[in-house]
Amino acid sequence: MGTGRTLRKKPITRPKKSEGKRRRRQKAQKARLSKLGVAAAVVAKMQPLVVRTMLQRPAKVVAALQAAKAKK
């Protein structure tokens, strides 16, 4: 393995995360959550961590929404 300048330059060995790409990912995640049936107004106010957590178990989100709808 080399120990030259190439490996000491942090952005080359591990690229920096950009703000634009992060916002694009969050926008796509919110769109996916809206497609599952969560109201757009509710999704817009959610924190990114909550959105990601809900998307990890989409079947549970759909089931919870159906249960809430049946309860009304």
pLDDT in tens, 6-65: 777 776 667 778 999 999 999 999 999 999 999 999 999 999 999 999 999 999 999 999
pLDDT bin (cut points 50, 70, 90) of residue 2 is low
Whether residue 70 contacts residue 62, with contact meaning beta carbons closer than 8 Å, is answered with no
pLDDT of residue 17: 83
How far apart CA 47 and CA 26 sit, in angstroms, is: 10
pLDDT of residue 42: 95
Helices 19-36 and 58-71: angle between axes, nearest 10 degrees: 40
How far apart CA 9 and CA 47 sit, in angstroms, is: 33
pLDDT of residue 4: 75
How far apart CA 37 and CA 43 sit, in angstroms, is: 10
